[in-house]
Chain A
Amino acid sequence: MKVHFQQVVKAIILLAFSAMIASLHVTDNIQKFINPKYEYLSITASLLFFMLFIVQVTRILSFSAVKHHHCSHDHEIKLFSYIIILLPIISGFVFPAQLMDAAMAEKKGGVLMLAKQQQAKIEDYLTTNEPIVENIYDAEPDPGLLEGKQEMTKQEYDTLKKQLVAKPIIQMTDKDYTIYYEDINNNLSTYIGRKIQLKGFILKEEDFAENQLVLSRFFITHCIADASIVGFLAEFPEAISLQEDTWLEAIGTLAITELNGSYLPVIKIEEWVQIEEPQTPYLYPIDIFLSP
């Protein structure tokens, strides 16, 4: 009977991968890495690793005298490979998961990413200089709203729409944020002068005026490596005294402004309050099922 040391190492690594992913789920830290919608994928990975671990255990002992072919490989190279494979396991267990901050937002393009307006529509608005009156809520749901995943039934969606018409304030909750954000950016002229309530963390850039900051959120499709920045430029006198990464909840009026040659929405803040960083700071795409 012979114990194969390399096979033992492989078995331990497979078990450790399974355990690391499982522990991220147990501690709920997994949300700091991936969109919760895809949690089932990483649970599958954890289970697959565990299954492979069990298979691997059967290779540890052999009872015949046949020499295993893997033992002839260069041991230094093998050792090096194992160190690399162990890296994420160690760093996953040792280092705390970090929530992304303004510094990361900067790296991901910062305020540049907010200038997504369709220029033509805005120039339309600027030449006529009055809101294009158009009741968009009587029409069929704009297909542009039906973005993303996370579930929302047609009924919920209709209620949401009615609320948006009825309420004097556009409330950017986590659930509705991306829907409204897309629509506000695509049809800015119809939203000018409307009240809006939102929260976000502060992002500042060098070319901002003293009273300007961005209330931003991270929008995550799959994992935080694909995060992009969403948010609104905001203006109020106290902006100068606030630090980056501070979370605010604010109410203001939507207007339009020019920054570095592109037009974008700006919120003239009327009321604001500093808040704790939310439990779920990131935003995810939302799905709306239009079939009842």
Chain B
Amino acid sequence: MGQFIYRSTTWSILAILLLLALAMNVSTLHTSILNLNTIFLSILIEALPFVLIGVLIAGFIQIFITEAHIQRWIPKNKALSIIMGCVVGALFPACECGIVPIVRRLMTKGVPLHAAMGFMLTGPLINPIVILSTYMAFGNDLKIAGLRMLLGFCIAVIVALMIGVFFKGTQFKKEPFHPNHTHLTTNASFFAKLLHMLQHAIDEFFDMGKYLIIGAFLAAFVQTYISTKTLVSIGNDLPSSMLVMMGLAYILSLCSEADAFIGASFSAMFPSPAILAFLIFGPMVDLKNTMMLLGVFRLKFVIWLVMLIATVVYGSLLLLAHGGIL
């Protein structure tokens, strides 16, 4: 199903481009395609170092961490394991493109789905670089940065708890290659293990790479052909402006370390709950990251996950805003 999705997306992209070519005069198209290509490559060049680090960590987990380790570390209690996942994610400096291969590898080693989701949601959202850039982008005011981390953490816990209730098993679309790595004995030399780790990282890169590339392309396409202004004009009260900002966060697919300035540039237009919705929703899930999730998880699960995150972010921020807390 995922294969089908990414193939049909790619072909439809090509079809759209062709239609655009027919509809527009050649010189405008020429510039806009070059713009599209430049943004596409820029997103990739920004993401690749983090993706490579992600697949190397995934390779490391595959070779050096055993299921026995995971059994020992993860609490049996569901709620406790979710809290643990969220805390580890908060301590772990990651971004949303590098974290998907890590999550998959952790799960093949026996980390339950709910704990892995907690980790995935807080990983890109809560880390020193994100705190610092948010702090600076909002005129050196700790309030937005603090609320982003605090509310983000609570929302991640709630979403992970709901996943724990509604979903069983791994929700993988297919069991990944080498689910149980057996051909390396524990007493293999460190060098042999290292080589295997790097080879795994390569396979992981080729497994995730295509989804990253499609995601980056879609995000670049949206940035080139859809005007922020059109979107912004829809938002005129709190509920609609929150929807607009969450929509923007999703389609722009910005790196969580660089989205604070964009968020801040909307702060004159929209109330702060809408800005917070942008800052919290974007790092948890976006267009680029959804494509990568589709490479690992079942389509149905990914759709539910995105809907759940969106609903919880929207609902809780709206509730807090109406309660006069935000």
Contact = CB atoms under 8 A, between A and B. Distances in A.
Contacts of B199: 55-56, 59
B255 interface: yes
Interface stretch (A96-104, A150-158, A233-241, A246-254): A96-104
A84 B220 CA distance: 15
Given A143-B140, A146-B140, A112 B232 contact: yes
Contact of A222 (B229, B232, B255): B255
B302 interface: no
B45 A95 contact: no
A108 B35 contact: no
B301 interface: no
Contacts of B137: 147
Contact of B133 (A13, A59, A143, A221): A221
A85 B216 CA distance: 12
A100 B46 CA distance: 17
A84 B213 contact: yes
Contacts of B45: 21, 24, 30, 33-34, 42, 45, 223
Contacts of A133: none
Contacts of A95: 33-34, 37-38
Interface stretch (A86-94, A161-169, A189-197, A273-281): A86-94
B10 A84 contact: yes
Interface string A127-145: 0000000000000000110
Contacts of A58: 195
A149 B117 CA distance: 33
A41 B49 contact: yes
B247 interface: no
Contact of B224 (A51, A107, A117, A147): A107
Contacts of A262: 268
Interface residues of A, number: 71
A113 B270 CA distance: 12
Contact of A225 (B46, B260, B267): B46
Q: Which of B44, B52, B198 has its CB near the most chain A CB atoms (within 10 A)?
A: B44
Interface string B238-260: 00000000000000111101111
A265 to B, nearest CB: 13
B209 interface: yes
Contact of A56 (B40, B202, B229, B267): B202
B206 interface: yes
Contacts of B31: 98, 101, 103
A88 B41 contact: yes
B202 A45 contact: no
A84 B216 CA distance: 12
Interface string B54-73: 00100000000000000000
A182 B269 CA distance: 17
Contacts of A106: 227, 229
A44 interface: yes
A77 B49 CA distance: 26
A4 interface: no
Nearest to B50: A41
B49 A44 contact: yes
B135 to A, nearest CB: 10
A48 B52 contact: yes
A193 B225 CA distance: 40
A38 B177 CA distance: 34
Interface string A1-44: 00000000010011001000100100000101110001001101
A49 interface: yes
B136 A91 contact: no
A236 B132 CA distance: 40
Nearest to B230: A107
Given A52-B202, A148-B136, A228-B261, A98 B38 contact: yes
A218 to B, nearest CB: 12
A255 interface: no
Given A101-B31, A107-B228, A224 B198 contact: no
B140 A55 contact: no
Given A108-B228, A225-B223, A225-B252, 18 more contacts: A41-B46, A45-B49, A49-B52, A55-B195, A55-B198, A55-B202, A69-B177, A84-B214, A95-B33, A107-B226, A146-B140, A221-B133, A223-B43, A223-B45, A225-B39, A225-B42, A226-B259, A285-B261
29 contacts: A41-B49, A42-B48, A48-B56, A49-B52, A52-B202, A55-B195, A56-B202, A84-B6, A84-B209, A85-B206, A85-B213, A91-B37, A91-B41, A95-B34, A97-B38, A106-B229, A107-B223, A109-B227, A109-B228, A115-B269, A116-B267, A117-B268, A146-B140, A225-B39, A225-B223, A226-B255, A226-B262, A262-B268, A285-B136
5 smallest CB-CB distances across A and B, nearest first, come from A222-B258, A223-B46, A33-B42, A98-B34, A45-B49
Interface of A: 10, 13-14, 17, 21, 24, 30, 32-34, 38, 41-42, 44-45, 48-49, 51-52, 55-56, 58-59, 69-70, 77, 80-81, 84-85, 87-88, 91-92, 95-98, 100-101, 103-104, 106-110, 112-113, 115-117, 119, 143-144, 146-148, 182, 186, 219, 221-226, 228-229, 262, 285
